Structure 1
Amino acid sequence: MTARRAASAPPTLPGYEHLRTLGLGGFADVFLYRQELPRREVAVKVLLAGSLDDELRERFQTEANLMAQLSHHPSIVTIYQAAFAADGRPYLVMEYCSRAGLAERYRAERISVAEVLRIGVRLASAVETAHRAGILHRDIKPANVLTTDFGWPALTDFGIAATTGHGGGATVGMSIPWSPPELLADHPRGDERSDVYSLAATLYSLLAGRTPFEIPGGQNGAQQLVARIERAPLPPTGREDVPTQLQAVLDRAMSKVPQVRYASAADLGRALQQVEADLRLPVTPLDLLDDPVALEPGPVGGGQDVADATRLRSIVAIPDAQAAGDQEDPTRVRGPVTVDAQAPGPAFVAPAADAVPLTLPVELPEEEADEQRRGRLVAAVASGVVVLAAIIAIALAATSGSTDPQPGDSDFQQGPATAAQEVVPAPRSVEGKRGDDGSVVFTWVNPDPQPDDTYLWGILTVTGEPELAVVPDPTVAVPADQAGDEVCIEVSIVRADRRSSAKPAEACA
Structure 2
Amino acid sequence: MTARREASAPPVLPGYAHVRTLGLGGFADVFLYRQDLPRRDVAVKVLLAGSLDDEVRARFQTEANLMAQLSHHPSIVTVYQADIAADGRPYLVMEYCSRTGLAERYRTERISVAEVLRIGVRLASAVETAHRAGILHRDIKPANVLTTDFGWPALTDFGIAATTGQGGGATVGMSIPWSPPELLAEHPRGDERSDVYSLAATLYSLLAGRTPFEIPGGQNGAQQLVARIERAPLPPTGRDDVPAELHAVLERAMAKVPELRHPSAAALGRALQQVEADLRLPVTPLDLLDDGTPHADPAPSQGGTDVADATRLRSIVAVPQPEPVRGDDDATRVRGPVTVQPQPAGPGFLTPPPPPPEPAPVGEPDVADDDDTRRSRTVAAVVSGVVVLGAIVVIAAAALRPGAGEPRPGDTDFQETGGSAVEAVVPSPHSLEGERDAAGNVTFTWVNPDPRPDDHYLWGVVTVQGTSRPEVVEQPTVTVPAAQSGDEVCIEVSIVRADRRASAKPAQVCA
**TM-score normalised to structure 2 length:** 0.61
CA apart distance, 1:219: 0.5
Contact 2:285 2:320 in 1 (8 A): no
Which residue does the alignment assign to 1:363?
344
Counterpart CA distance in 1 for 2:78 and 2:173 is 22
CA apart distance, 1:363: 3.0
- Secondary structure of the 2:108 match is coil
- Secondary structure of the 1:106 match is helix
Counterpart CA distance in 2 for 1:182 and 1:27 is 26
Count matched residues: 326
CA apart distance, 1:317: 8.7
Which residue does the alignment assign to 1:248?
248
Counterpart CA distance in 2 for 1:265 and 1:3 is 39
Counterpart CA distance in 2 for 1:333 and 1:111 is 25
RMSD: 2.5
Contact 2:286 2:319 in 1 (8 A): no
Letter in 2 for 1:332: V
CA apart distance, 1:194: 0.3
Query: Is 1:333 the equivalent of 2:314?
Result: no
Structure 2 CA distance for partners of 1:9 and 1:336, relative to 1, 3 Å = closer
Within a 5 Å distance, the mapping from 1:391-430 to structure 2 comes to: none
Contact 2:285 2:318 in 1 (8 A): no
* Superimposed CA distance per residue, residues 194-246 of structure 1 (whole angstroms, 9 cap, x where no aligned partner): 00000000000000000000000110111111111111110010100000000
Letter in 2 for 1:75: S
Letter in 2 for 1:26: G
- Secondary structure of the 1:146 match is strand
Counterpart CA distance in 1 for 2:319 and 2:163 is 36
* Superimposed CA distance per residue, residues 22-55 of structure 1 (whole angstroms, 9 cap, x where no aligned partner): 0000000000000111111000000000000000
**TM-score normalised to structure 1 length:** 0.61
Which residue does the alignment assign to 2:235?
235
Counterpart CA distance in 2 for 1:83 and 1:69 is 16
- Secondary structure of the 2:150 match is coil
Counterpart CA distance in 1 for 2:279 and 2:326 is 12
Structure 1 residue runs of 5 or longer lacking an equivalent are 293-314, 338-358, 366-383, 389-509
Structure 2 CA distance for partners of 1:46 and 1:317, relative to 1, 3 Å = closer
Contact 2:23 2:30 in 1 (8 A): yes
* Superimposed CA distance per residue, residues 95-143 of structure 1 (whole angstroms, 9 cap, x where no aligned partner): 0000000001001010000000000000000000000000000000000
Could you say which structure has the greater relative contact order, defined with CA pairs below 8 angstroms and 6 or more residues apart? 1
Letter in 1 for 2:322: D
Which stretch of the first structure deviates more once superposed, 162-171 or 237-246? Answer: 162-171
CA apart distance, 1:332: 1.4
Counterpart CA distance in 2 for 1:161 and 1:364 is 50
Within a 5 Å distance, the mapping from 1:140-159 to structure 2 comes to: 140-159=140-159
Counterpart CA distance in 2 for 1:61 and 1:318 is 37
Which residue does the alignment assign to 1:102?
102
Contact 2:106 2:206 in 1 (8 A): yes
Contact 1:213 1:235 in 2 (8 A): yes
Counterpart CA distance in 2 for 1:120 and 1:317 is 15
Contact 2:59 2:160 in 1 (8 A): yes
Which residue does the alignment assign to 1:188?
188
* Superimposed CA distance per residue, residues 252-310 of structure 1 (whole angstroms, 9 cap, x where no aligned partner): 00001000000100000000000000111000000001279xxxxxxxxxxxxxxxxxx
Structure showing greater radius of gyration is 2
CA apart distance, 1:6: 1.2
Contact 2:32 2:42 in 1 (8 A): yes
Letter in 1 for 2:59: R
Contact 1:138 1:195 in 2 (8 A): yes
Percent identical residues: 82
Structure 2 CA distance for partners of 1:173 and 1:329, relative to 1, 3 Å = farther
Counterpart CA distance in 2 for 1:27 and 1:364 is 63
Within a 5 Å distance, the mapping from 1:293-312 to structure 2 comes to: none
* Superimposed CA distance per residue, residues 343-401 of structure 1 (whole angstroms, 9 cap, x where no aligned partner): xxxxxxxxxxxxxxxx8862399xxxxxxxxxxxxxxxxxx9xx99xxxxxxxxxxxxx
Which residue does the alignment assign to 1:321?
323
Structure 2 CA distance for partners of 1:171 and 1:319, relative to 1, 3 Å = closer
Structure 2 residue runs of 5 or longer lacking an equivalent are 293-316, 347-391, 397-511
Counterpart CA distance in 1 for 2:331 and 2:155 is 20
Structure 2 CA distance for partners of 1:324 and 1:185, relative to 1, 3 Å = farther
